[in-house]
Amino acid sequence: VDRSGGGGSGGGSGGGNLGSRNGAAHMAPVPLPPARGKCSSGISKDLLQTYARNNTVMITFCDAGMWKLFGSTWLMNLQAAGIDYWVLAVADEKAASLVEAAGVSQCFVAHDVEVDDLDADFKWGSVTWKLHTWQKVLTVRHVHQFKFNVLQSDLDVVWFRDPLSYFLQQYTAADYMVSMDPITTRNPIGDPGPEFGVTVSHYMNTGVYFLRATDGGTALID
């Protein structure tokens, strides 16, 4: 690129030093890694209250493998959607170290660990998978016992918009709302509300569920 109109050889005034100053190549600054975060050693009401919005906390559970696969995408999408009331429940110190290295401090180490070997074969329906699933339930129960509404959302869930008004303003009667596996709907076109025509043969998918801080919510989770 030559802005002098005289080519690249005119007394060194050509474009050979694009982006240079005083003959020295100008290098873009290397971005610094995020400041290291620090997870709490356990769950507490004070920790949850720090991040809760409208008495609601989004709880997401992760281990080291899950964080490696989904962590950066999960965090980016929460930030893009303006969701700031989340708290990570990490499975162990190995997971905590990875989360902290990403600059995350909205986290605590879950101590309801029933999984003997976090490096064991992890696939749908396996013993390890079942134990992880129960660990999530126990963690949600502890958060709910502090009288918070709990939005449980798995690490592989992508939110395009903040769902808080959906749960707290539009549909306030239900103590518990849960996502479902069917990819079809019986609702009228344009109706984004709770699903019509639900039967006992429809599978719940606990990748996302909302548990309200009510007596009904307590009866369910206890």
Look up the CATH number of the domain holding residue 50.
3.90.550
Separation between Cα atoms, residue 39 and residue 34, nearest integer Å: 15
E strands in 15-148: 20-21, 24-25, 56-62, 86-90, 107-109
Would you say residue 14 lies in a domain?
A: no
Phi, psi of 145 (to 5 degrees): -65, -20
Would you say residue 27 lies in a domain?
A: no
Range of the domain at 203: 45-182+199-221
Separation between Cα atoms, residue 88 and residue 103, nearest integer Å: 13
Would you say residue 174 lies in a domain?
A: yes
Separation between Cα atoms, residue 87 and residue 66, nearest integer Å: 16
Strand partners, 86: 58
Cα 130 vs. chain centroid, distance in angstroms? 21
Would you say residue 10 lies in a domain?
A: no
The tens place of each residue's pLDDT in the chain, 222 residues long, gives: 444 444 444 444 444 443 444 444 556 655 555 677 899 999 999 999 999 999 999 999 998 989 999 999 999 999 999 999 999 999 889 999 999 999 999 999 987 554 445 555 556 677 777 777 788 888 999 999 999 999 999 999 999 999 999 999 999 999 999 988 777 788 888 888 888 777 777 778 889 999 999 999 999 998
Span between the terminal Cα atoms of the chain, in Å: 70
Would you say residue 83 lies in a domain?
A: yes
